[in-house]
Amino acid sequence: MTGTLLYPGTILSLSADAADRLLAASNGDCALLYLHLLRQGGRFVPSHAAKVLQWSPERTQAAFDALVKLGLADQRETAEPTPPEPPMPEPPAYTAADLAQELEDKDSPFPALVSEVQRRLGKLLSAADLKQLYTLYDFLSLPAEVILLLVNWCVEEMERKYGPGRKPRLSQISKEGFAWRRKGIDTAEEAERYLRRQDQLRQRTSRLLPLLDIQGRQPVDAERRYLNAWIDMGFPDQVIRLAYERTVLKKQSMNWPYMNSILKSWHQKGLHTLEAIQAGDTSRRSAGPAAGTVNPPAPAAPGETERRVREDLERMRAYLRAQNEQEGG
């Protein structure tokens, strides 16, 4: 008997409003999926929900869509876990003898690479610098031409941020080189494609900054990530300006996370032009103050509601028993 007691901390809370909506919908799949979402703290991972409930992906998604229409789930809560990247092995501890051997090899492009990097950075490389450069060349297997493109990119970025004459350290170049390798940028073609894309993003960003009333400075890294995400979503300049105006109207100043939430909401709804957004605003206003809410269906016949309640409760109990057995197993 003790195993059936509802101890504090093991109880899932269901509001009366949510229960009323579920019962009025007369959809057992909705009730079970809602119970699962309560169990998961509101986070909807479609593959996990389908596995737990032993449903097909289509049935799981249909139940979630029904919950969204009932106002009991948020489309933005959908999230599949991103598999972690496998950790990269530690690079070898290169010795002075390893470097000397490579620098004396007349068939190796490494000596010429060292000379060009020294020219580009305007200094002789130290032993520590040489080891980091050789790590890019040998351990990451980046071709010499890719490393030169990497060095040039890092130099240009440093000068853009801090002014002419500022040069990056080899440790900064090495960090960016590892990032390139993780992104699969390991050929001259891939590097050139990546740099063209970065140049396009930089030009577009420079046009967006005045629209956000940012003058006389470059965006910091966190701001740049927001801007790049909005560009990738496909928003034209005037839509980004509209989101900015709505942000300032609501927050009285620029608030990057809030503005990002506006643009993400439009993106998820497929609204990417001023016309589409204004049409969506008009339809919401014409729907009146109850727009977006779900009108409950007509009351069920006497006795029918009680039958549904019993069936839904039995489904929930069966689900809880399955959950307990799964955890206990």
231-277: pLDDT as tens digits: 988 899 999 999 999 999 999 999 999 999 999 999 888 888 999 88
More confident residue, 303 or 157: 157
Instruction: Name the more confident of 291 and 155.
Output: 155
Confidence of residue 217 (pLDDT cuts 50, 70, 90): confident
Averaged pLDDT for residues 219-229 = 90
154 lies in the same domain as 179: yes
Q: Quickly count: other Cβ atoms within 10 Å of residue 156's Cβ.
A: 15
Q: Using pLDDT thresholds of 50, 70 and 90, give the confidence band for residue 306.
A: low
pLDDT at 81 over 60: no
User: Smallest Cα–Cα separation from 215: which of 254, 251, 178?
Assistant: 254
Please indicate, yes or no, whether residues 101 and 169 belong to a single structural domain of this protein.
yes
Tell me, yes or no, whether 134 and 155 share the same domain: yes
Lowest mean pLDDT among 85-94, 158-167, 198-207: 85-94
Same domain for 49 and 22? yes
Over 50: is that where the pLDDT of 195 sits?
yes
- pLDDT tier at 178, thresholds 50, 70, 90: very high
Work out the percent of the chain whose per-residue pLDDT is above 70: 77
Question: What local confidence, expressed as pLDDT, does residue 307 receive?
Answer: 59
In a domain, 76, yes or no: yes
Mean pLDDT of 73-92: 67
> What pLDDT, on a 0 to 100 scale, did the predictor assign at position 298?
46
Report the pLDDT value the prediction gives residue 54, as an integer from 0 to 100: 87
Q: Is residue 109 scored above 90 in pLDDT?
A: yes
Amino acid 73 reads: A
Q: What CA dihedral angle connects 171, 174, 180 and 182, to 10 degrees?
A: -100
Residue 249 lies in a domain: yes
Residues 115 and 64 in one domain: no
Same domain assignment for residues 112 and 76: no
Task: Give the pLDDT confidence score for residue 22 in this predicted structure.
Answer: 87
Alpha-carbon distance of 156 to 84, in angstroms, equals 32
Indicate if 101 and 172 belong to the same structural domain: yes
Whether residue 197 lies inside any domain: the answer is no
CB 132 within 8 A of CB 174: yes
pLDDT tier, 2 (very low <50, low <70, confident <90, very high otherwise): very low
Average per-residue pLDDT in the chain?
82
pLDDT of 21: 85
Residues 134 and 182 occupy one common structural domain? yes
Residues 100 and 158 in one domain: yes
Count how many domains the chain has: 3
| pLDDT grade for 62, boundaries at 50, 70 and 90 | confident
60 shares its domain with 109: no
Residue 84 confidence (pLDDT) above 70: no
Rounded Cα distance between 34 and 40, Å, is 10
Instruction: Count Cβ atoms below 10 Å from residue 106 Cβ, excluding itself.
Output: 5
Q: Render pLDDT for 9-53 as a digit per residue (tens, 0 to 9).
A: 445 667 777 888 888 888 888 889 888 888 777 778 888 888 888
Identify the residue with better confidence: 14 or 296.
Answer: 14
Q: Could you tell me if residue 296 is inside a domain?
A: no
Residue 61 has pLDDT above 90, yes or no: no
Residue 3 pLDDT exceeds 50:
no
Whole-number pLDDT of residue 288: 53
Q: Looking at the structure, do residues 73 and 144 belong to the same domain, yes or no?
A: no
- Give residue 50's identity as a one-letter amino acid code: A
Range of the domain at 224: 220-272
